[in-house]
Amino acid sequence: MKIENAARGRRAGTGAERCCGSVERGQAADRKSRKKKKSDLRGIDYEGYSSTPMYSVRLSYASLSDQGKIRESNQDACREVAAADGSRVFIVADGMGGHCGGDVASRLAVKAMSDHFTTSSQDPGTRLRTAFNLANQAVQEGSREQPELSGMGTTGVALLFHDDGEAWVGHVGDSRAYRFRRGSGLEPLTLDHSVIAEMLRRGEVTPEEAIIHPLRSQLLRALGTESSVRVDISSFPLEEGDRYLLCSDGLTAVLRDADIADILRTEEPVSAVEKFVELANERGGPDNTTVQVIEIKQLEELEDVPVAQVVERDRDMGRVQSFIEGQFFIPLMVVLQVAFLALLWVLFGTGLQQLVEPPPERTDEFEIAPIEIEAPQEVGEAGELPVPVELPEAVEIEELEIEE
């Protein structure tokens, strides 16, 4: 995959911490990604999924995680990962439980997901789902190994940019993903798995009441709290200029959608993450705030994609589409058209005429009637042309003898 890293994060104020690699690490990961892309061009992996790049995607991104003004530790975690096929994945996790359990849970989850993304060649949806399931297992195992951390859990939201021109988002809990697009503005890409979100959807509280509601932090789903977890997965096409935000609830507890839209509309990723954290802290910084902002700087469709691999890329509709676009389609259509015209000629030309007017029956016995030639009855005078005489049909005039 050809996803290029064009930016990085920076520190912003005391207590802030970059959680996703430096410029150098980003560039190194990029070189690794391009190297892997070559080998992936061989085609189909064991699950039949082609990682042949369809688009060249150039990303600019920045990440920032801040402890906030109230909390004694930062239990959020985030990371940016160059996946096995060169896809780029962004992850935010918001830990919960115990003295340091939340801190452990969020880091265990991010590590388990990152490890999976760096080795898996599954299709994007399966890859996300598997990553969340592995994160769930990792947090559960962490609880078993350290009983004092029992009950810990974490949210998780992951955004995967794939070279098929789509972004894939998976999430559990109340960490969120947003997209800002020119023309359509800010759109949430996730629905919180929380009690207060359900109450809002049912109209039982207003948005203003939800912000201060005592149940505002109670989750309906989390990673590590049960043996299995349901993950919401969705995908949508990329557009050049899109800006994406992943964030923990430390941001959305104090910023409204209008605030988020203003910053995404006006700021590049690096300054955007700084402004998000600054604004959250200006408004009290009641929780850890973690933000990742990713911009689609460039999106170009690649031209020389082999037909066979396009077919494998999308097993459902891709086969038909690729065949129509393929090199055999036009010659086949020409042959079919010629055959059809020949059929029409047979039916409506000689063939049809024969059907409508069948030929007379053949017979081997026939008679030839003698031809009788009568002498002309009138003859013109000398010097005048002879009066034409009626000749029997089918007798050529050269054979006549005219008597004077």
Site residues for Ca ion per CB under 5 A:
94, 248-250, 287
Measured distance CA(184)–CA(268) in Å, rounded: 18
Closest approach of Ca ion to the CB of residue 173, in Å: 10
CB of 321 to Ca ion, least distance (A): 44
**Is 243 in contact with 294 (CB distance < 8 Å)?**
yes
DSSP letters, 227-265, are SS---EEEEEE--TT-EEEEE-HHHHTT--HHHHHHHHH
Closest distance of CB 248 from Ca ion, Å: 5
Tell the smallest beta-carbon distance from residue 63 to Ca ion (Å).
Answer: 16
> Among candidates 181, 169, 204, 182, which has minimal Cα distance to 89?
169
Identity of the residue, 217 or 235, whose beta carbon is nearer to Ca ion in the bound complex: 217
Residues 194 and 174: beta-carbon distance below 8 Å: yes
Could you tell me whether strands 55-66 and 2-5 are parallel, antiparallel, or unpaired per DSSP bridges?
parallel
Q: Which of 7, 130, 31, 48 is nearest to 86 (CA)?
A: 31
* 5 vs 290, beta carbon nearer Ca ion: 290
19, 66 contact by CB (below 8 A): no
Q: How far is the CB of 103 from Ca ion (least distance, A)?
A: 12
Q: Are 71 and 44 in contact (CB under 8 A)?
A: no
Nearer CB in complex with Ca ion: 222/293 = 222
Query: Based on CB atoms, which residue is closest to Ca ion, 76 or 295?
Result: 76
Q: Tell me whether residue 50 or residue 106 sits nearer to Ca ion (CB atom).
A: 106
Nearer of residues 131 and 280 to Ca ion, judged by Cβ: 280
258-268 residues labelled b (16+ CB within 10 A) or e (exposed): ebbbbbbeebe
Strand partners, 167: 161, 236
94 versus 164: smaller Cβ distance to Ca ion: 94
For the bound state, the minimum distance from the C-beta of residue 286 to Ca ion, rounded and expressed in Å, comes to 9
Least distance to Ca ion from the beta carbon of 250, Å?
Answer: 5
